[in-house]
Amino acid sequence: MTQRNVDHSRTERPRKTEPRSRAAILRLLKLRGPCDAAALSAELGVTAMAVRQHLYALQEEGFVAYEEEARPVGRPAKLWALTPAAERYFPDAHAELAAGLLSAMGEAFGDQGLARLLKARGEQLVAAYRRRLDGAAPLGARVAALAGIREAEGYMAAVEETPEGWLLVENHCPICVAATACSGLCQVELEVFREVLGEDAAVERTDHILAGARRCAYRVTAKP
């Protein structure tokens, strides 16, 4: 991989952009991670030329950048990815307000008071999720139901089956700013997942946005 570059070629620069197509490209890059124009074209059902035009327009606005990846044959491929500026396109759940409130609560009530607040929040989430999740269903169905709940909350969640079990993936964190201010929120979410999926499930976080990963992911396996 080389450093990210700004492409100065004029042969495929955009003449105009369409908001819906650009939004679809941004969403796909958020869901899939770095992709080349051909992969985006196949997913969207439009020409690679049209995709490149949108990518160049988004690049000029600072929302995407690319890295070159060597290929066995031909020129290196451009793998496009979102920049931090692209987060404006995704819900933030009033992140700044939440972060400020958490900071103020910590100052007002101290660490123990903040811990009680987080504990109460976790209990609320467990109760709410249990009302929407069938605890007697097979584990895979429970994981899928939890992903559906998180998707509705703006986490862009999905489930991937693995040889060991399942991977619950969250491609976006609508409370990222608040979680940065109070890392205990992330621990609460992990404990909530363990609680609602049941005693027969082992849940482990494998990717963490706050640690620099593109997404948060949780490995779910059945306990012996």
* pLDDT, position 18: 58
- Helix 184-197 / helix 95-131 crossing angle, nearest 10 deg: 10
More confident residue, 108 or 75: 75
* pLDDT, position 113: 78
Letter for the amino acid at 146?
A: L
* pLDDT, position 87: 78
Confidence of residue 95 (pLDDT cuts 50, 70, 90): low
Q: Which CATH architecture has domain 19-89?
A: Orthogonal Bundle (1.10)
Q: Inform me whether the pLDDT recorded for 17 exceeds 80.
A: no
Q: How far apart, in Å, do the first and last CA atoms of the chain sit? A: 42
* pLDDT, position 90: 78
- Burial of 12-32, coded b for 16+ CB within 10 Å and e otherwise, reads eebeeeeeebbebbbebbbee
pLDDT tens sequence across 112-129? 877 888 889 899 999 999
The strand pair at 157-161 and 64-69 is best described as unpaired
Instruction: Look at the domain 95-222 and name its fold.
Output: Muramoyl-pentapeptide Carboxypeptidase; domain 2 (3.30.1380)
Task: Report DSSP letters for 164-205, one per residue.
Answer: SEEEEEES--TTHHHHHH-THHHHHHHHHHHHHH-TTEEEEE
pLDDT tens sequence across 3-16? 445 444 433 333 34
pLDDT tens sequence across 165-211? 999 999 998 877 677 767 788 999 999 999 999 999 999 999 999 89
Among 95-109, 138-152, 189-203, whose mean pLDDT is lowest?
A: 95-109
* pLDDT, position 75: 87
pTM of the model: 0.64
The strand pair at 216-222 and 201-207 is best described as antiparallel
Structural domain spans, the chain: 19-89, 95-222
CA distance 92 to 71: 37
Among 32-36, 61-65, 109-113, 211-215, whose mean pLDDT is lowest?
A: 109-113
DSSP character at residue 160: E
